[in-house]
Chains A and B, each alone.
Chain A
Amino acid sequence: MTGSSPKTPIAGNPDPVLEIRDLSVALPAWADRPLAVKSVSLTVGRGETLCVVGESGSGKSVMARSILRLLPEPHLRIAGGQILLDGEDLARADDRRMRQIRGGEISMVFQEPMVSLNPLMTVGRQIDEILEVHTDWSKAERRRRVIATFEDVRLPEPELIVGAYPHELSGGQRQRVMIAMSLVLEPKLIIADEPTTALDVTTEAQVLTLLKELQIKHGTALLFITHNFGVVAEIADRVAVMRYGELVEYGSAKDVLENPQHPYTRALIDAVPSLVPRKHPEPSLTAEPILTVRALEKTYGRASAGPNWLARMMPRLARGRRSAVKAVNRVDLDIRRGSAVALVGESGSGKSTLARCLIGLEQADSGSALIAGDEIVGRSRGDWRPLRSRVQMVFQDPFASLNPRTKVGDIIARGAILQGVNPEAAMDQARRLLDLVGLDAKAAERYPHEFSGGQRQRIGIARALAVKPDILIADEPVSALDVSVQKQVLDLLDDLRRQFGLTMLFITHDLRVAAHVCEDIVVLKNGTIVERGLTADIFANPQHEYTRTLLASVPGRDWQRRGLPDQLAPPGE
């Protein structure tokens, strides 16, 4: 049990597998800084887990890739320092030696399993390749090993999955394949670059448990890159915090998490939204209802249409066709003026479809939805126009949701102008809104690409508020943002809510975020609401099995719950 043994002291790690000394990686001349990684020194001990934490642009991924020399040379190149694997300097090893090390002695797990696997090759073959290069085993031996490794990472029916293509697997299964790929030759070190970021929270918890377990079983060292302190609390033995390519803090997980020394580390830890629901004003039960949804349904795919003519003639040909998917299944929802409701669910739960139905981007199949008394189901595009100012949306991706060729001021003012406000007044209002969301009023004259992700999301919020909507639907507004920026945007939404009595439907997969902004919570699974109620009640006492799983899957929940009254801990822990 290497993982839970007493932490080795930092300075003299007695048995390092990997030792990085003064590593610097140079960026190309046109970059905003000369070095992506600035003289970083780290060690990873045998069988231990080192988490490297940082926000986007911190150089953590570049650092990880430079160990295996996977940098896109000549744009990025190692400018100095040593990378010692059991004393051998990889920074100076030749290509032949590097190829032996890659996959054989050090392996890597990447963030997005969908794009990290070749879409045109079966996953079995993709793992087999490693054995083919590094061993002289026969085909049958290699196949046995691949299947055994698939069993190790607990993929169902390994014999079948060997012949599957990446797109035929789920996101979690794909990441298990990636992990199998990294484990198959039992390397000394696995580098995992945000391996759970693209996964759902329950899948993330399973993958983390699996990694930890396999690491202990095989005694592999793990270098884990992440931006998520919850994950750090879950698996790290030691932690290194990076910012702008430099190491700002380095120590045992316990020390860094409980007693961070550097102000940046403290800020990062503080920015993690608490799992403890904030005290919100009691929602008034007498406030007028803004949104009333009854038995709303939306089905994708061939709903009622039978098989086509050919399939009718030859039923055998119709097998394996996709049947209809009920994305939203008889959903009831009530939102009163001034309240904030979190709609929580994993990917595929139908939360985004529901939102799209509510703002008229999708037409619901049946049921009813009233926005301040007006029925929206069955409205044509033209009939929607007068309602557009009632409901507005803040979108998930701040980079894709603003027109890059339109000035920020016009983006914000356009909605109001379409509603009949005169352009001068609309522009004035746009400037006031920019000020309100914490940007300079001069931003109105600039284009979206000049702003960072967090700033763009502020612009998105200003745009949504410009038509003074009755209800604001926020679809994962912070999931594309770094954790410190995320906190600022959440605080902004909270402020705006208090200031203007905004009504909000907040869609998220992240229970922490839900707890941070909303006093009511609705849990959605496979298009059906499985649980609803006050956030505090649900967190303290989840009724539905699925809600319990969701809560138990939040990484780092125990770390954050320290010192809290016992009744807040989920049952069974």
Chain B
Amino acid sequence: MRGLRLISFIMTRLLQAIPVVLGVVVLNFLLLQLAPGDAATVLAGEAGGAPPEYVEQLRARFGLDKPVLVQLGLYLKNILLLDLGFSFRNNAPVLGLILDRLWPTLLLMGATLVVSVGGGVMLGVIAALGVRTWRDHLISVAAVIAYATPLFWIGLMLILVFSIRLDWFPTSGMEDVVAFHEGWARVADIAHHLVLPTITLSLFYLALYTRLMRATVLEQRGAEYATTARAKGLTERTITLRHVLRNALLPVITMAGVQVGALLGGSVVVETVFAWPGLGQLAYQSLFARDFNLLLGIFFLSACLVVIVNIIVDVVYVLLDPRIRVGGKA
């Protein structure tokens, strides 16, 4: 019964997402038309100049000479057939390019989510349990500092301290390409490379969730059901772990769900700083190459990603909170 309703809910949400994603595609397409220059001028420019006839020829080959609406129509048709087009810049199909870069980004995002939500929840609980003790003060002050520091600066400082000075972690990249690691050695190598970008990207969110968690735990500990639990003779530890924690998690999950989109945006900066071969870096490069097909493909995929993550968050929420009725919109 509940399972069926959940499936129905997920299906409805997926179908509702289609017009949203298409809207994003159309909007991105039209916005990109506003950018000066196109792939043909960039290619010609990089070749050290070319006669106008050659540029025109290039345009005709890329289909850039047709009216904007016709281009849009063609693009939409291709999208619906899941054909994201061809990147002339990289001389490869867009889909393949993106899929190559997708998993590093997902890895970075996943690691960041785990560190920021997991760490934030833990630190928040520790701070709340020792409210107004040195632990609470230490965590709260550190959170405010992390909260107020810009992302790229943290990245650069981490590289400076941990890579250049201490030489603990590599400065950039996802793996040591010349070492040709295989199996577990490769996993360890990637994990080693992952540390600094993840810390950089998660620090801000870690601080945010720590503060949020601290506040909600304090609020929930004062709730009447916590008093009931105390009146049953439970220990403070059990009350916190069994009763308070789950209730206090709900607002954090909500926040995390909303912020996954922002995480993608943040990864552009971090991937650039750390030369992480992910979607953000690809987007950055394709923007300067005026490789609009590739850029649109990345936007399309990001939109899909955000939609899917939001659905996942909603499902998690339903599983955590029995009061939420899925599908009951009345």
Contacts and interface: CB of A to CB of B under 8 A. Distances in A.
Contacts of A87: none
B320 interface: yes
B225 interface: yes
A299 to B, nearest CB: 11
Contact of A115 (B5, B225, B328): B225
B330 A321 contact: yes
B161 interface: no
Interface string A98-122: 0111111001101010011111110
B233 A134 contact: yes
Contacts of A214: none
B227 A116 contact: yes
B235 A99 contact: yes
B323 A165 contact: yes
Contact of B225 (A116, A310, A316): A116
Nearest to A119: B323
Nearest to B323: A167
B88 to A, nearest CB: 42
A307 B320 CA distance: 27
A115 B246 CA distance: 15
B230 A70 contact: yes
B12 A310 contact: yes
User: Chain B binding site: helix, strand, loop or mixed by DSSP?
Assistant: helix
B121 to A, nearest CB: 16
Contact of B233 (A104, A118, A316): A104
B224 interface: yes
B189 to A, nearest CB: 42
A322 B5 CA distance: 13
B228 interface: yes
B247 interface: yes
B327 interface: yes
Contact of A99 (B223, B228, B233): B233
A121 B224 contact: no
B52 interface: no
A179 interface: no
A319 B325 CA distance: 13
A150 to B, nearest CB: 17
A120 B234 contact: no
B100 interface: no
Interface residues of B, number: 32
B231 interface: yes
B328 A108 contact: no
Contacts of A99: 233-235
Contacts of B212: none
A319 B327 CA distance: 11
Given A133-B233, A301-B330, A316-B4, A120 B227 contact: no
Contacts of A102: 230-233
A317 B230 CA distance: 41
A314 interface: yes
A116 B224 contact: yes
A572 interface: no
A250 B225 CA distance: 32
A72 interface: yes
Nearest to A117: B225
A320 interface: yes
B70 to A, nearest CB: 33
A78 to B, nearest CB: 16
B322 interface: yes
Contacts of A151: none
Interface in B226-254: 227-235, 238, 242-243, 246-247
A101 B8 contact: no
Contacts of B327: 317, 321
Contacts of B322: 119-120, 165, 167
B326 to A, nearest CB: 10
Contacts of B235: 99
B321 interface: yes
A343 interface: no
A110 B224 contact: yes
Contacts of A310: 8, 11-12
Contact of A317 (B5, B227, B228, B231): B5
Given A118-B243, A317-B5, A319-B1, A181 B232 contact: yes
A493 interface: no
Interface in A270-306: 301-302
Contacts of A70: 227, 230-231
B233 A101 contact: yes
A320 B5 contact: yes
A521 B235 CA distance: 52
A119 B247 CA distance: 8
Nearest to B222: A72
A557 to B, nearest CB: 31
Contacts of A103: 231-233
A129 interface: yes
Nearest to A122: B322
B231 A108 contact: yes
Contacts of B222: 72
B225 A112 contact: no
B109 to A, nearest CB: 28
B234 A129 contact: yes
A130 B243 contact: no
Contact of A302 (B229, B320, B330): B330
A371 interface: no
A317 B8 contact: yes
Which residue, A178, A314, A320, has most C-beta atoms of chain B within 10 A? A320
A68 interface: yes
B230 to A, nearest CB: 6
A110 B233 contact: no
Contacts of B4: 316-317
Interface string A348-383: 000000000000000000000000000000000000
A390 B320 CA distance: 49
A393 to B, nearest CB: 27
Given A115-B224, A116-B224, A167-B322, A130 B8 contact: no
Which residue, B7, B223, B224, B321, has most C-beta atoms of chain A within 10 A? B224
7 contacts: A102-B232, A104-B233, A118-B247, A120-B247, A134-B233, A165-B323, A316-B4
Given A68-B231, A317-B7, A317-B8, 7 more contacts: A72-B222, A99-B233, A108-B231, A110-B227, A116-B228, A133-B238, A167-B322
Interface of A: 65, 68, 70, 72, 99-104, 107-108, 110, 112, 115-121, 129-130, 133-134, 165, 167, 178, 181, 301-302, 310-311, 314, 316-317, 319-322
Report the 3 A-B pairs with minimum CB-CB distance, sorted nearest first. A103-B233, A102-B233, A103-B232
